[in-house]
Structure 1
Protein backbone atom coordinates (compact mmCIF):
# COMPACT_ATOMS: atom_id res chain seq x y z
CA UNK A 1 0.00 0.00 0.00
CA UNK A 2 1.42 3.38 -1.00
CA UNK A 3 2.00 6.03 1.65
CA UNK A 4 -0.46 8.91 1.90
CA UNK A 5 0.98 12.13 0.46
CA UNK A 6 0.04 15.10 2.63
CA UNK A 7 -0.18 18.51 0.91
CA UNK A 8 1.17 21.90 1.86
CA UNK A 9 -1.93 23.93 2.78
CA UNK A 10 -2.14 27.73 2.47
CA UNK A 11 -4.94 29.79 3.93
CA UNK A 12 -6.06 32.52 1.51
CA UNK A 13 -8.38 35.49 1.96
CA UNK A 14 -7.69 37.65 -1.10
CA UNK A 15 -5.27 40.04 0.64
CA UNK A 16 -1.77 40.69 -0.66
CA UNK A 17 -0.17 39.10 2.44
CA UNK A 18 -2.17 35.93 1.84
CA UNK A 19 -1.01 35.88 -1.78
CA UNK A 20 2.57 36.11 -0.55
CA UNK A 21 1.68 33.11 1.61
CA UNK A 22 0.64 31.36 -1.61
CA UNK A 23 4.09 32.14 -3.04
CA UNK A 24 5.84 30.66 -0.04
CA UNK A 25 3.54 27.62 0.01
CA UNK A 26 4.16 26.98 -3.68
CA UNK A 27 7.92 27.15 -3.07
CA UNK A 28 7.56 24.82 -0.08
CA UNK A 29 5.53 22.33 -2.09
CA UNK A 30 8.10 22.40 -4.91
CA UNK A 31 10.98 21.87 -2.47
CA UNK A 32 9.28 18.89 -0.88
CA UNK A 33 7.70 17.44 -4.03
CA UNK A 34 4.22 17.76 -2.52
CA UNK A 35 0.87 19.00 -3.84
CA UNK A 36 -0.46 22.41 -2.80
CA UNK A 37 -3.94 22.94 -1.37
CA UNK A 38 -5.40 26.46 -1.20
CA UNK A 39 -8.23 26.96 1.28
CA UNK A 40 -10.58 29.89 1.78
CA UNK A 41 -12.79 29.90 4.87
CA UNK A 42 -15.78 31.78 3.50
CA UNK A 43 -16.97 33.21 6.82
CA UNK A 44 -14.09 35.67 6.44
CA UNK A 45 -16.47 37.47 4.05
CA UNK A 46 -18.44 38.96 6.94
CA UNK A 47 -15.35 40.99 7.81
CA UNK A 48 -13.68 41.36 4.43
CA UNK A 49 -16.25 41.46 1.62
CA UNK A 50 -16.59 45.23 1.35
CA UNK A 51 -12.87 46.06 1.64
CA UNK A 52 -11.99 43.31 -0.85
CA UNK A 53 -14.49 44.74 -3.31
CA UNK A 54 -12.87 48.17 -2.94
CA UNK A 55 -9.45 46.61 -3.62
CA UNK A 56 -10.73 44.99 -6.83
CA UNK A 57 -12.85 47.95 -7.98
CA UNK A 58 -16.07 45.89 -7.93
CA UNK A 59 -19.22 45.70 -5.85
CA UNK A 60 -19.25 43.27 -2.95
CA UNK A 61 -21.88 41.15 -4.72
CA UNK A 62 -19.46 40.60 -7.60
CA UNK A 63 -16.66 39.40 -5.36
CA UNK A 64 -17.05 35.73 -4.59
CA UNK A 65 -15.07 33.10 -2.78
CA UNK A 66 -14.39 31.53 -6.16
CA UNK A 67 -12.65 34.73 -7.27
CA UNK A 68 -10.32 34.49 -4.29
CA UNK A 69 -9.27 30.88 -4.73
CA UNK A 70 -9.06 31.20 -8.51
CA UNK A 71 -6.68 34.14 -8.24
CA UNK A 72 -4.59 32.30 -5.67
CA UNK A 73 -4.41 29.17 -7.84
CA UNK A 74 -3.36 31.18 -10.90
CA UNK A 75 -0.59 32.79 -8.88
CA UNK A 76 0.64 29.42 -7.64
CA UNK A 77 0.63 27.96 -11.18
CA UNK A 78 2.63 30.90 -12.51
CA UNK A 79 5.18 30.65 -9.74
CA UNK A 80 5.60 26.87 -9.69
CA UNK A 81 4.10 25.28 -12.83
CA UNK A 82 5.16 21.78 -11.80
CA UNK A 83 3.22 21.79 -8.53
CA UNK A 84 -0.23 20.18 -8.46
CA UNK A 85 -2.71 22.73 -7.06
CA UNK A 86 -6.19 22.15 -5.65
CA UNK A 87 -8.60 24.63 -4.07
CA UNK A 88 -11.51 24.52 -1.68
CA UNK A 89 -14.02 26.96 -0.18
CA UNK A 90 -15.14 26.03 3.32
CA UNK A 91 -18.24 27.65 4.88
CA UNK A 92 -16.57 27.84 8.29
CA UNK A 93 -14.75 30.20 10.62
CA UNK A 94 -11.10 30.48 9.52
CA UNK A 95 -9.62 29.33 12.84
CA UNK A 96 -11.68 26.14 12.89
CA UNK A 97 -11.22 25.43 9.18
CA UNK A 98 -7.44 25.83 9.21
CA UNK A 99 -6.85 23.86 12.39
CA UNK A 100 -8.98 21.09 10.89
CA UNK A 101 -7.02 21.25 7.62
CA UNK A 102 -3.81 20.83 9.60
CA UNK A 103 -4.84 17.32 10.57
CA UNK A 104 -4.12 16.17 7.03
CA UNK A 105 -1.37 18.59 5.98
CA UNK A 106 2.41 18.42 5.88
CA UNK A 107 2.41 22.09 6.92
CA UNK A 108 0.12 25.12 7.00
CA UNK A 109 1.24 28.48 5.57
CA UNK A 110 -0.46 31.71 6.68
CA UNK A 111 -0.08 35.44 6.27
CA UNK A 112 -0.46 37.82 9.21
CA UNK A 113 -2.12 40.97 7.88
CA UNK A 114 -5.41 41.92 6.29
CA UNK A 115 -6.55 45.05 4.45
CA UNK A 116 -7.72 47.25 7.33
CA UNK A 117 -6.82 48.01 10.91
CA UNK A 118 -9.62 45.85 12.31
CA UNK A 119 -8.94 43.01 9.93
CA UNK A 120 -5.21 43.17 10.67
CA UNK A 121 -6.07 42.43 14.27
CA UNK A 122 -8.47 39.67 13.24
CA UNK A 123 -6.04 37.93 10.92
CA UNK A 124 -3.28 38.22 13.47
CA UNK A 125 -5.59 36.47 15.91
CA UNK A 126 -6.36 33.76 13.34
CA UNK A 127 -2.65 33.12 12.74
CA UNK A 128 -1.90 32.94 16.46
CA UNK A 129 -4.84 30.63 17.15
CA UNK A 130 -3.92 28.26 14.32
CA UNK A 131 -0.23 28.24 15.32
CA UNK A 132 -1.27 27.40 18.88
CA UNK A 133 -3.65 24.55 18.06
CA UNK A 134 -2.63 22.93 14.76
CA UNK A 135 -1.13 19.45 14.92
CA UNK A 136 1.22 20.11 12.00
CA UNK A 137 3.95 22.76 11.55
CA UNK A 138 2.52 26.23 10.91
CA UNK A 139 4.57 28.74 8.91
CA UNK A 140 3.51 32.32 9.55
CA UNK A 141 4.85 34.99 7.21
CA UNK A 142 5.78 38.33 8.64
CA UNK A 143 4.23 41.29 6.77
CA UNK A 144 7.24 43.51 7.39
CA UNK A 145 9.51 41.55 5.03
CA UNK A 146 8.90 42.29 1.34
CA UNK A 147 10.99 39.29 0.28
CA UNK A 148 9.54 36.85 2.78
CA UNK A 149 8.31 34.37 0.19
CA UNK A 150 11.64 34.16 -1.63
CA UNK A 151 13.41 31.11 -0.27
CA UNK A 152 17.17 31.11 0.18
CA UNK A 153 17.94 34.83 0.41
CA UNK A 154 20.20 34.32 3.43
CA UNK A 155 20.96 30.61 3.20
CA UNK A 156 20.18 30.20 6.89
CA UNK A 157 17.49 28.43 8.94
CA UNK A 158 17.50 29.31 12.65
CA UNK A 159 16.31 26.80 15.25
CA UNK A 160 15.53 28.13 18.72
CA UNK A 161 16.50 25.65 21.45
CA UNK A 162 14.48 26.09 24.64
CA UNK A 163 15.17 25.42 28.31
CA UNK A 164 14.26 21.73 27.99
CA UNK A 165 16.11 21.35 24.74
CA UNK A 166 14.49 20.73 21.40
CA UNK A 167 12.44 17.62 20.81
CA UNK A 168 12.72 15.61 17.64
CA UNK A 169 9.86 17.24 15.70
CA UNK A 170 11.36 20.74 15.72
CA UNK A 171 14.82 19.46 14.92
CA UNK A 172 13.56 17.22 12.10
CA UNK A 173 11.56 20.05 10.54
CA UNK A 174 14.37 22.61 10.77
CA UNK A 175 16.97 20.15 9.49
CA UNK A 176 14.77 19.17 6.53
CA UNK A 177 14.18 22.83 5.66
CA UNK A 178 17.91 23.52 5.79
CA UNK A 179 18.76 20.45 3.71
CA UNK A 180 16.18 21.17 1.02
CA UNK A 181 17.29 24.81 0.79
CA UNK A 182 20.99 23.90 0.93
CA UNK A 183 21.15 26.29 3.87
CA UNK A 184 23.02 26.34 7.17
CA UNK A 185 21.04 25.15 10.19
CA UNK A 186 21.85 27.65 12.93
CA UNK A 187 20.84 26.13 16.29
CA UNK A 188 20.70 28.84 18.94
CA UNK A 189 20.41 28.52 22.71
CA UNK A 190 20.02 31.76 24.69
CA UNK A 191 21.28 31.97 28.28
CA UNK A 192 21.29 34.52 31.09
CA UNK A 193 23.17 34.98 34.33
CA UNK A 194 20.71 36.06 37.06
CA UNK A 195 21.69 39.38 38.63
CA UNK A 196 21.73 37.94 42.16
CA UNK A 197 24.52 35.56 41.15
CA UNK A 198 26.98 38.27 40.15
CA UNK A 199 29.86 39.12 42.49
CA UNK A 200 32.43 41.87 42.79
CA UNK A 201 35.17 39.61 44.12
CA UNK A 202 38.02 39.62 41.56
CA UNK A 203 38.69 35.88 41.96
CA UNK A 204 35.06 34.98 41.34
CA UNK A 205 34.19 37.53 38.68
CA UNK A 206 32.78 35.84 35.57
CA UNK A 207 32.41 32.41 37.21
CA UNK A 208 28.57 32.41 37.44
CA UNK A 209 28.33 33.50 33.79
CA UNK A 210 30.74 30.77 32.71
CA UNK A 211 28.65 28.13 34.48
CA UNK A 212 25.41 29.32 32.89
CA UNK A 213 27.01 29.36 29.45
CA UNK A 214 28.37 25.86 30.03
CA UNK A 215 24.90 24.68 31.01
CA UNK A 216 23.49 26.22 27.82
CA UNK A 217 26.12 24.38 25.79
CA UNK A 218 25.15 21.09 27.43
CA UNK A 219 21.46 21.69 26.63
CA UNK A 220 22.37 22.50 23.04
CA UNK A 221 24.56 19.41 22.63
CA UNK A 222 21.86 17.16 24.06
CA UNK A 223 19.17 18.69 21.83
CA UNK A 224 21.28 18.18 18.70
CA UNK A 225 22.61 14.70 19.40
CA UNK A 226 20.29 13.24 16.74
CA UNK A 227 20.85 15.94 14.13
CA UNK A 228 21.29 14.42 10.65
CA UNK A 229 24.86 14.28 9.44
CA UNK A 230 24.05 15.64 5.97
CA UNK A 231 23.07 19.11 7.28
CA UNK A 232 25.50 22.01 7.63
CA UNK A 233 25.01 22.57 11.37
CA UNK A 234 26.15 25.58 13.38
CA UNK A 235 25.79 25.61 17.19
CA UNK A 236 25.60 28.88 19.10
CA UNK A 237 25.02 29.92 22.70
CA UNK A 238 24.17 33.60 23.05
CA UNK A 239 23.83 35.62 26.24
CA UNK A 240 20.50 37.45 26.55
CA UNK A 241 16.74 36.91 26.75
CA UNK A 242 15.57 34.24 24.31
CA UNK A 243 13.10 36.60 22.65
CA UNK A 244 15.75 39.20 21.91
CA UNK A 245 18.32 36.64 20.78
CA UNK A 246 15.95 34.96 18.31
CA UNK A 247 14.54 38.24 16.99
CA UNK A 248 18.08 39.44 16.29
CA UNK A 249 18.83 36.14 14.55
CA UNK A 250 15.73 36.57 12.36
CA UNK A 251 17.34 39.54 10.59
CA UNK A 252 19.68 37.19 8.73
CA UNK A 253 17.51 34.11 8.37
CA UNK A 254 15.10 32.73 5.78
CA UNK A 255 13.10 30.86 8.42
CA UNK A 256 12.98 30.82 12.22
CA UNK A 257 11.80 27.53 13.77
CA UNK A 258 10.44 27.26 17.32
CA UNK A 259 8.72 24.42 19.11
CA UNK A 260 5.36 24.55 20.90
CA UNK A 261 4.74 21.89 23.49
CA UNK A 262 1.27 20.37 23.58
CA UNK A 263 -0.51 19.54 26.81
CA UNK A 264 -3.35 17.14 25.88
CA UNK A 265 -5.35 18.17 28.96
CA UNK A 266 -5.12 21.92 28.32
CA UNK A 267 -7.74 23.56 26.10
CA UNK A 268 -6.23 27.05 25.92
CA UNK A 269 -3.42 28.46 23.84
CA UNK A 270 -0.20 26.46 23.83
CA UNK A 271 2.26 29.13 22.78
CA UNK A 272 4.83 30.43 25.24
CA UNK A 273 6.11 33.98 25.53
CA UNK A 274 9.01 33.37 23.16
CA UNK A 275 6.77 31.94 20.42
CA UNK A 276 4.35 34.85 20.82
CA UNK A 277 7.18 37.37 20.58
CA UNK A 278 8.72 35.95 17.43
CA UNK A 279 5.32 35.55 15.73
CA UNK A 280 4.63 39.23 16.36
CA UNK A 281 8.05 40.72 15.66
CA UNK A 282 10.28 38.38 13.62
CA UNK A 283 11.76 39.83 10.44
CA UNK A 284 11.61 36.47 8.66
CA UNK A 285 8.95 33.76 8.43
CA UNK A 286 8.34 31.75 11.61
CA UNK A 287 7.58 28.02 11.75
CA UNK A 288 5.84 26.80 14.91
CA UNK A 289 6.30 23.04 15.24
CA UNK A 290 4.12 21.11 17.72
CA UNK A 291 5.94 18.98 20.28
CA UNK A 292 4.38 16.47 22.63
CA UNK A 293 4.91 16.79 26.39
Structure 2
Protein backbone atom coordinates (compact mmCIF):
# COMPACT_ATOMS: atom_id res chain seq x y z
CA UNK A 1 0.00 0.00 0.00
CA UNK A 2 1.35 3.42 -0.99
CA UNK A 3 1.64 5.75 1.97
CA UNK A 4 0.66 9.33 1.15
CA UNK A 5 2.39 12.54 2.03
CA UNK A 6 0.32 14.26 4.70
CA UNK A 7 0.22 18.03 4.98
CA UNK A 8 -1.55 19.95 7.71
CA UNK A 9 -3.58 22.89 6.39
CA UNK A 10 -4.89 25.68 8.60
CA UNK A 11 -5.43 28.61 6.27
CA UNK A 12 -2.28 30.47 7.39
CA UNK A 13 0.29 31.87 4.99
CA UNK A 14 2.91 29.47 6.37
CA UNK A 15 0.43 26.65 5.85
CA UNK A 16 -0.09 27.59 2.21
CA UNK A 17 3.69 27.69 1.63
CA UNK A 18 3.93 24.22 3.17
CA UNK A 19 1.11 23.07 0.87
CA UNK A 20 2.90 24.36 -2.25
CA UNK A 21 6.08 22.60 -1.17
CA UNK A 22 4.15 19.40 -0.41
CA UNK A 23 2.53 19.39 -3.86
CA UNK A 24 5.97 19.59 -5.48
CA UNK A 25 7.25 16.85 -3.18
CA UNK A 26 4.33 14.57 -4.02
CA UNK A 27 4.94 15.11 -7.74
CA UNK A 28 8.66 14.35 -7.38
CA UNK A 29 8.02 11.04 -5.64
CA UNK A 30 4.77 10.18 -7.46
CA UNK A 31 2.88 9.94 -4.18
CA UNK A 32 -0.71 10.89 -3.32
CA UNK A 33 -1.16 13.96 -1.16
CA UNK A 34 -3.51 13.95 1.82
CA UNK A 35 -4.65 17.33 3.18
CA UNK A 36 -5.85 17.26 6.78
CA UNK A 37 -7.38 20.02 8.86
CA UNK A 38 -7.92 19.77 12.59
CA UNK A 39 -11.12 21.36 13.88
CA UNK A 40 -12.95 21.00 17.18
CA UNK A 41 -15.97 23.05 16.24
CA UNK A 42 -18.32 20.23 17.24
CA UNK A 43 -17.14 20.39 20.84
CA UNK A 44 -17.91 24.08 21.19
CA UNK A 45 -21.03 24.40 19.05
CA UNK A 46 -23.18 21.42 20.05
CA UNK A 47 -25.67 23.69 21.81
CA UNK A 48 -25.92 26.01 18.80
CA UNK A 49 -26.81 23.08 16.56
CA UNK A 50 -30.08 22.61 18.44
CA UNK A 51 -30.98 26.30 18.33
CA UNK A 52 -30.33 27.19 14.71
CA UNK A 53 -30.82 25.76 11.25
CA UNK A 54 -27.68 27.52 10.02
CA UNK A 55 -24.44 25.63 9.58
CA UNK A 56 -22.09 26.20 12.53
CA UNK A 57 -19.45 28.85 11.88
CA UNK A 58 -16.67 26.42 12.79
CA UNK A 59 -17.84 23.90 10.22
CA UNK A 60 -18.06 26.58 7.55
CA UNK A 61 -14.56 27.83 8.38
CA UNK A 62 -13.09 24.30 8.24
CA UNK A 63 -14.73 23.60 4.89
CA UNK A 64 -13.51 26.92 3.50
CA UNK A 65 -9.94 26.26 4.60
CA UNK A 66 -9.90 22.80 3.04
CA UNK A 67 -11.62 24.03 -0.12
CA UNK A 68 -9.08 26.81 -0.58
CA UNK A 69 -6.24 24.32 -0.03
CA UNK A 70 -7.62 21.90 -2.64
CA UNK A 71 -8.02 24.71 -5.17
CA UNK A 72 -4.49 25.95 -4.54
CA UNK A 73 -3.03 22.45 -4.86
CA UNK A 74 -4.83 21.93 -8.17
CA UNK A 75 -3.58 25.23 -9.56
CA UNK A 76 -0.04 24.37 -8.45
CA UNK A 77 -0.03 20.90 -10.06
CA UNK A 78 -3.27 19.33 -11.27
CA UNK A 79 -1.58 15.95 -11.82
CA UNK A 80 -1.11 15.28 -8.11
CA UNK A 81 -3.74 13.01 -6.54
CA UNK A 82 -5.24 14.99 -3.63
CA UNK A 83 -7.58 13.79 -0.89
CA UNK A 84 -8.85 15.70 2.14
CA UNK A 85 -10.32 15.20 5.57
CA UNK A 86 -11.44 17.42 8.45
CA UNK A 87 -10.71 15.67 11.74
CA UNK A 88 -12.19 16.62 15.07
CA UNK A 89 -9.24 16.95 17.38
CA UNK A 90 -6.33 19.25 18.13
CA UNK A 91 -3.70 19.64 15.35
CA UNK A 92 -0.92 17.85 17.23
CA UNK A 93 -3.01 14.74 17.92
CA UNK A 94 -4.36 14.65 14.37
CA UNK A 95 -0.95 14.87 12.74
CA UNK A 96 0.62 12.31 15.07
CA UNK A 97 -2.11 9.79 14.21
CA UNK A 98 -1.73 10.53 10.52
CA UNK A 99 2.03 9.98 10.82
CA UNK A 100 1.46 6.30 11.56
CA UNK A 101 0.23 5.80 7.99
CA UNK A 102 2.22 8.46 6.07
CA UNK A 103 5.42 8.55 4.04
CA UNK A 104 6.08 11.90 5.71
CA UNK A 105 4.20 14.68 7.47
CA UNK A 106 4.68 18.23 6.20
CA UNK A 107 3.87 21.30 8.25
CA UNK A 108 4.40 25.03 8.04
CA UNK A 109 6.76 26.87 10.34
CA UNK A 110 3.95 28.82 12.00
CA UNK A 111 0.23 28.44 12.49
CA UNK A 112 -2.87 30.53 13.02
CA UNK A 113 -2.82 30.53 16.82
CA UNK A 114 -1.88 33.19 19.32
CA UNK A 115 1.80 32.36 19.10
CA UNK A 116 2.32 32.86 15.36
CA UNK A 117 5.29 35.11 16.07
CA UNK A 118 7.38 32.26 17.46
CA UNK A 119 10.26 30.95 15.37
CA UNK A 120 8.51 27.59 15.13
CA UNK A 121 4.95 26.82 16.10
CA UNK A 122 4.36 24.47 19.02
CA UNK A 123 2.51 22.00 16.78
CA UNK A 124 5.41 21.63 14.36
CA UNK A 125 7.91 21.13 17.17
CA UNK A 126 5.75 18.56 18.96
CA UNK A 127 5.06 16.56 15.80
CA UNK A 128 8.75 16.58 14.80
CA UNK A 129 9.63 15.31 18.28
CA UNK A 130 7.10 12.47 18.39
CA UNK A 131 6.03 11.32 14.91
CA UNK A 132 6.96 7.84 13.74
CA UNK A 133 7.66 8.98 10.17
CA UNK A 134 9.83 11.79 8.77
CA UNK A 135 8.50 15.27 9.52
CA UNK A 136 9.34 18.17 7.22
CA UNK A 137 8.97 21.70 8.53
CA UNK A 138 8.77 24.10 5.59
CA UNK A 139 10.70 27.27 6.30
CA UNK A 140 13.34 29.45 4.65
CA UNK A 141 13.69 31.94 1.80
CA UNK A 142 12.20 31.81 -1.69
CA UNK A 143 15.30 30.27 -3.27
CA UNK A 144 15.31 27.32 -0.87
CA UNK A 145 11.55 26.83 -1.08
CA UNK A 146 11.71 26.82 -4.88
CA UNK A 147 14.64 24.38 -5.00
CA UNK A 148 16.93 26.79 -6.81
CA UNK A 149 20.07 25.77 -4.94
CA UNK A 150 19.87 22.23 -6.34
CA UNK A 151 21.42 20.86 -3.18
CA UNK A 152 20.28 18.59 -0.34
CA UNK A 153 22.22 19.04 2.89
CA UNK A 154 22.69 16.04 5.19
CA UNK A 155 23.96 16.42 8.72
CA UNK A 156 25.90 13.28 9.65
CA UNK A 157 26.14 12.34 13.31
CA UNK A 158 27.36 9.01 14.65
CA UNK A 159 27.21 6.32 11.98
CA UNK A 160 24.91 4.09 14.06
CA UNK A 161 22.35 6.88 14.35
CA UNK A 162 22.02 8.24 10.83
CA UNK A 163 21.14 5.24 8.64
CA UNK A 164 17.50 6.25 8.15
CA UNK A 165 18.40 9.89 7.54
CA UNK A 166 21.10 8.91 5.04
CA UNK A 167 18.63 6.86 3.02
CA UNK A 168 16.08 9.67 3.12
CA UNK A 169 18.66 12.21 1.94
CA UNK A 170 19.81 10.03 -0.95
CA UNK A 171 16.22 9.47 -2.08
CA UNK A 172 15.59 13.20 -2.02
CA UNK A 173 18.74 14.00 -3.99
CA UNK A 174 17.91 11.30 -6.53
CA UNK A 175 14.33 12.53 -6.99
CA UNK A 176 15.55 16.10 -7.43
CA UNK A 177 18.56 15.20 -9.60
CA UNK A 178 20.75 17.36 -7.39
CA UNK A 179 23.92 17.26 -5.33
CA UNK A 180 23.97 15.71 -1.86
CA UNK A 181 26.17 17.66 0.56
CA UNK A 182 27.07 15.36 3.46
CA UNK A 183 28.59 17.27 6.37
CA UNK A 184 30.15 15.98 9.55
CA UNK A 185 31.01 18.63 12.15
CA UNK A 186 33.87 18.00 14.55
CA UNK A 187 35.49 19.76 17.49
CA UNK A 188 38.82 19.57 19.27
CA UNK A 189 38.20 20.01 23.01
CA UNK A 190 40.23 22.89 24.39
CA UNK A 191 41.20 20.90 27.52
CA UNK A 192 42.46 17.89 25.57
CA UNK A 193 46.10 16.96 26.09
CA UNK A 194 48.50 15.24 23.72
CA UNK A 195 49.44 12.51 26.23
CA UNK A 196 47.45 9.94 24.27
CA UNK A 197 49.66 8.46 21.47
CA UNK A 198 46.97 9.05 18.83
CA UNK A 199 46.80 12.72 19.73
CA UNK A 200 50.51 13.39 20.03
CA UNK A 201 51.67 16.27 17.86
CA UNK A 202 48.41 17.17 16.09
CA UNK A 203 45.16 16.55 18.00
CA UNK A 204 43.14 18.60 15.48
CA UNK A 205 44.24 16.37 12.64
CA UNK A 206 43.20 13.32 14.67
CA UNK A 207 39.67 14.65 15.19
CA UNK A 208 39.33 15.70 11.56
CA UNK A 209 40.45 12.30 10.29
CA UNK A 210 38.12 10.58 12.73
CA UNK A 211 35.22 12.72 11.47
CA UNK A 212 36.13 11.86 7.88
CA UNK A 213 36.15 8.13 8.71
CA UNK A 214 32.71 8.37 10.33
CA UNK A 215 31.41 10.26 7.30
CA UNK A 216 32.71 7.67 4.84
CA UNK A 217 31.39 4.77 6.93
CA UNK A 218 27.95 6.37 7.21
CA UNK A 219 27.58 6.93 3.48
CA UNK A 220 29.28 4.01 1.77
CA UNK A 221 26.48 1.44 1.86
CA UNK A 222 23.70 3.75 0.70
CA UNK A 223 25.86 5.56 -1.83
CA UNK A 224 26.31 2.31 -3.72
CA UNK A 225 22.54 2.08 -4.24
CA UNK A 226 22.43 5.58 -5.74
CA UNK A 227 25.37 5.77 -8.17
CA UNK A 228 23.83 8.69 -10.07
CA UNK A 229 23.74 10.95 -6.99
CA UNK A 230 26.71 13.28 -6.77
CA UNK A 231 27.99 13.38 -3.20
CA UNK A 232 30.14 16.12 -1.74
CA UNK A 233 31.69 15.18 1.57
CA UNK A 234 32.86 17.82 4.04
CA UNK A 235 34.23 17.74 7.57
CA UNK A 236 33.89 21.11 9.27
CA UNK A 237 35.26 22.25 12.61
CA UNK A 238 32.64 23.76 14.88
CA UNK A 239 29.41 23.00 16.76
CA UNK A 240 27.11 20.95 14.52
CA UNK A 241 24.04 23.11 15.15
CA UNK A 242 25.90 26.24 14.01
CA UNK A 243 27.64 24.58 11.05
CA UNK A 244 24.42 23.14 9.61
CA UNK A 245 22.32 26.24 10.20
CA UNK A 246 24.90 28.35 8.40
CA UNK A 247 25.11 25.95 5.46
CA UNK A 248 21.33 25.68 5.17
CA UNK A 249 21.33 29.08 3.43
CA UNK A 250 22.66 27.35 0.29
CA UNK A 251 20.43 24.25 0.45
CA UNK A 252 16.92 23.28 -0.64
CA UNK A 253 16.45 20.77 2.18
CA UNK A 254 18.31 19.95 5.38
CA UNK A 255 18.03 16.32 6.49
CA UNK A 256 18.73 15.31 10.08
CA UNK A 257 18.45 12.05 11.96
CA UNK A 258 16.78 12.21 15.36
CA UNK A 259 16.97 9.76 18.19
CA UNK A 260 14.42 11.18 20.61
CA UNK A 261 15.32 11.52 24.28
CA UNK A 262 12.69 10.73 26.89
CA UNK A 263 12.67 13.21 29.78
CA UNK A 264 10.29 14.45 32.44
CA UNK A 265 8.91 16.85 29.81
CA UNK A 266 8.23 14.03 27.33
CA UNK A 267 10.05 13.20 24.11
CA UNK A 268 12.64 15.82 23.27
CA UNK A 269 14.74 16.49 20.18
CA UNK A 270 18.48 16.94 20.42
CA UNK A 271 20.15 20.34 20.18
CA UNK A 272 21.01 20.09 16.48
CA UNK A 273 17.48 19.28 15.32
CA UNK A 274 15.91 21.76 17.72
CA UNK A 275 18.14 24.59 16.52
CA UNK A 276 17.63 23.75 12.85
CA UNK A 277 13.85 23.71 13.20
CA UNK A 278 13.96 27.22 14.64
CA UNK A 279 16.73 28.83 12.61
CA UNK A 280 17.46 26.95 9.35
CA UNK A 281 17.09 28.91 6.13
CA UNK A 282 15.54 26.03 4.19
CA UNK A 283 12.98 23.28 4.86
CA UNK A 284 14.12 20.79 7.51
CA UNK A 285 13.40 17.04 7.46
CA UNK A 286 13.65 15.29 10.83
CA UNK A 287 13.97 11.54 10.28
CA UNK A 288 13.35 9.29 13.29
CA UNK A 289 15.92 6.66 14.08
CA UNK A 290 15.22 3.15 15.39
CA UNK A 291 15.19 2.95 19.17
Q: TM-score, normalised by structure 2?
A: 0.86
* Correspondent of 2:280 among 279, 282, 286: 282
C-alpha displacement of 1:169: 1.3
- Contact 2:144–2:250 under 8 Å retained in 1: no
**How does 1:9-20 map onto structure 2 within 5 Å?**
9-20=6-17
* Correspondent of 1:194 among 162, 166, 189: 189
**How does 1:118-197 map onto structure 2 within 5 Å?**
118-121=115-118, 124-142=121-139, 144-150=140-146, 152-164=147-159, 166-197=161-192
- Contact 2:256–2:286 under 8 Å retained in 1: yes
Secondary structure, in 3 states, of the residue corresponding to 1:104? coil
Residues 43, 123 of structure 1: alpha-carbon distance in 2 compared, 3 angstrom cutoff: farther
- Contact 1:213–1:237 under 8 Å retained in 2: yes
Name the structure 1 match of 2:269: 271
Secondary structure, in 3 states, of the residue corresponding to 2:259? strand
Secondary structure, in 3 states, of the residue corresponding to 1:118? coil
- What is the alpha-carbon distance in structure 1 between the residues aligned to residue 60 and residue 193 of structure 2? 63
Residues 122, 191 of structure 1: alpha-carbon distance in 2 compared, 3 angstrom cutoff: closer
Residues 62, 95 of structure 1: alpha-carbon distance in 2 compared, 3 angstrom cutoff: closer
- Contact 2:251–2:282 under 8 Å retained in 1: yes
**How does 1:4-153 map onto structure 2 within 5 Å?**
4-43=1-40, 63-115=60-112, 118-121=115-118, 124-142=121-139, 144-150=140-146, 152-153=147-148
Name the structure 2 match of 1:217: 212
- Contact 1:136–1:289 under 8 Å retained in 2: yes
C-alpha displacement of 1:73: 0.7
Residues 237, 138 of structure 1: alpha-carbon distance in 2 compared, 3 angstrom cutoff: same
- What is the alpha-carbon distance in structure 2 between the residues aligned to residue 123 and residue 256 of structure 1? 16
Residues 62, 44 of structure 1: alpha-carbon distance in 2 compared, 3 angstrom cutoff: closer
- Contact 1:263–1:292 under 8 Å retained in 2: no
- Contact 1:37–1:85 under 8 Å retained in 2: yes
C-alpha displacement of 1:122: 10
* Correspondent of 2:255 among 239, 257, 262: 257
C-alpha displacement of 1:113: 1.4
Cα displacement string for residues 216-254 of structure 1 (whole angstroms, at most 9, x for unaligned residues): 011101111212322111111000000110011101000
Q: CA RMSD in A?
A: 2.7
Secondary structure, in 3 states, of the residue corresponding to 1:224? helix
Q: Which moved more, 1:62-71 or 1:159-168?
A: 159-168
- What is the alpha-carbon distance in structure 1 between the residues aligned to residue 102 and residue 270 of structure 2? 23
Q: Which runs of 5+ in 2 are unaligned?
A: 44-56
Name the structure 2 match of 1:56: none
Q: Which runs of 5+ in 1 are unaligned?
A: 47-59
1:208 paired with 2:203, answer yes
Residues 133, 208 of structure 1: alpha-carbon distance in 2 compared, 3 angstrom cutoff: same
